[in-house]
Amino acid sequence: MSYANPMRERLRSGGKLLGLWLSTGRPESAEIAALAGYHVVIIDLEHAPGDTDELGHLLRAVQLRGAEPMVRVPWNDQVILKRVLELGARSIMIPMVENRAEAEAAVAACRYPPRGRRGYAAGAIRASNYGFKADYAEHAHEELFLALQVETGAAAARAGEIASVDGCDMVFIGPNDLAGNLGFLERMGEPPVLASIEDAKAKTRAAGKYLGIVPHAGKDATKLAGEGFDFVACGNDVIFLREATRADIAKHAAAYDIKPR
């Protein structure tokens, strides 16, 4: 039985990944994003509504339409990670990882002993096809893809030690929180912010790990791909809906006496 992860397989073959943030928490939105052609749909449990009761439906909606669901958990928490993994998520993003010790804790929480400390219920969980994947516990680590987020100046400076942890597949740089931490909230183009991103990028590359990021400072997904980033999460379903409705209102505002917002 194969335990390959589509994200890792595409990256290993030299491909790049384009992703969409799912903030509505709706299976329909997840399905549309997958049908549209995004490689990855990021189910955001940190900043968006939704919990583990709904996660199984979201995972199915993405997987059945041919994309890979990645779950961003709310925090680097062993219990949260266990529940998300048991529901069948195999690609995980963990926010605010600050150092090697936190990276090691994240990996350990996601792996069964002797490789980690993940609690065991393999025979009765969705991740193992409810026990039909009889060798799931032995091979679960092979399909796991972990992206650890670097979102502060201190974490960016330690990106190399974070990336070097066995089990960390990708360092995902968060320019928005990084800018805020450095004193430039919503000003991601400031030189210290860009310098910190470049520092984290260089240290991650030196450790031999993949790089992820979001568009920032005038750099869109195409430009970032050209700059060597492997995974760019380029859009958000809420923002796309807002901008599409705003454009439609603007188009018809005069005829219907609507004041555009």
The domain that contains 80 carries what CATH number?
Answer: 3.20.20.60
pLDDT at 2: 78
Give catalytic residues, as residue numbers. Answer: 47
What is residue 1's predicted lDDT score, i.e. its pLDDT?
Answer: 64
Is 41 inside any structural domain?
yes
Distance CA 67, CA 28 (A): 14
Report yes or no: 59 and 89 within 8 Å, Cβ to Cβ.
yes
| 60, part of any domain | yes
Q: What is the pLDDT of residue 50?
A: 77
Tell me if 261 is assigned to some domain: no
Phi/psi at 70 (5° precision) = -115, 130
User: Is 137 among the domain residues?
Assistant: yes
Report the relative pairing of strands 17-22 and 210-213 from DSSP bridges: unpaired
Per-residue pLDDT of the chain (261 residues; tens, 9 = 90+): 679 999 999 999 999 999 999 999 999 999 999 999 999 999 999 999 878 889 999 999 999 999 999 999 999 999 999 999 999 999 999 999 999 999 999 999 999 999 999 999 999 999 999 999 999 999 999 999 999 999 999 999 999 999 999 999 999 999 999 999 999 999 999 999 999 999 999 999 999 999 999 999 999 999 999 999 999 999 999 999 999 999 999 999 999 999 988
Cβ atoms of residues 50 and 58 within 8 Å: yes
Indicate the number of domains in the chain.
1
Q: Output the six-digit token pair for 114.
A: 């002797």
Q: Please report the pLDDT score of residue 131 as a whole number.
A: 97
Domain extent at residue 250: 6-256
- Residue 169 φ then ψ, to 5°: -90, -30
64 located within any domain:
yes
